[in-house]
Amino acid sequence: MDGVRRDPIRMVTHRAQWAVDFERERARVAAVLAPWSAGPVEHIGSTAVPGLVAKPIIDMAVCLTDHRHGASARTALAGIGWVHAPEPGDADRRKWSFCLPDPGWRTHHLHVYEIGDPIPRSLTTFRDHLRGHPEDAAEYGRIKTMPAEADEHDRPRYRAGKAPFIEAVLRRARNAGAPRAPDP
């Protein structure tokens, strides 16, 4: 394992099996992180939105009570097969990234934050908005498919192509009364 991403950015139709696959790993992750967890393990990202096209990688998020528990969490996750796979900016944001089964060909990606980070709330707000607004989910599917089709390995372009839509949805959700993330 060299850590290089080899899984292409390829959209597939939604699969009901993703909820089952999430639940299996949620239970395992929640069990080993229980001593440090500050809340539930959430199913985030496109695989968490029924009907939405997605990369077949199940994104998950959880918060720990304190950043200092990161080393213990890393050891606990390694014990059940999760691999530490740092992403750009993780260290600066006091965040950890893990994947299963390996960084090159992942089926699951776990984002671990410290409690108080506003990102997890944004992730669940976006997910919940798409679940309740199928027209926005369809538009998001169209928007993220374009950069994926243009170059299935250009992750910066893929992320940049989605960002304005995500930001607009989060602004609308906040204006409509969605709960705001707490200040860090």
pLDDT in tens, 54-71: 999 999 999 999 999 999
Is residue 141 domain-resident? yes
Q: Using CA atoms, how far apart are residues 79 and 179, in angstroms rounded to an integer?
A: 35
- Please count the structural domains in the chain: 1
Query: Could you state, in chain order, the average pLDDT of each consecutive group of 10 residues for the chain (184 residues)?
Result: 66 96 98 97 98 96 95 97 92 92 92 95 96 96 85 83 95 77 42
Whether 36 is in a domain gets the answer yes
Mean of the per-residue pLDDT values of the chain: 90
Within a domain: 118? yes
Residue among 156, 165, 166 nearest 9 (CA): 156
pTM as predicted: 0.88
Is residue 1 domain-resident? Answer: no
Q: Residue 141: give its domain's CATH number.
A: 3.30.460.10
**Does residue 5 lie within any of the structural domains?**
no
Strand order in 42-44's β-sheet?
42-44, 58-64, 108-114, 96-100, 83-84
Domain extent, residue 140, equals 17-175
Q: Is residue 3 part of a domain?
A: no
Dist CA 147 CA 162 (whole Å): 9
- Could you give the CA distance from residue 154 to residue 163 in angstroms, rounded to a whole number? 15
8 located within any domain: no
The answer to whether residue 183 is domain-embedded is no
Quote the CA–CA distance of 18 and 10 in Å, as a whole number.
16
73-88 confidence digits (pLDDT tens): 999 999 999 999 998 8
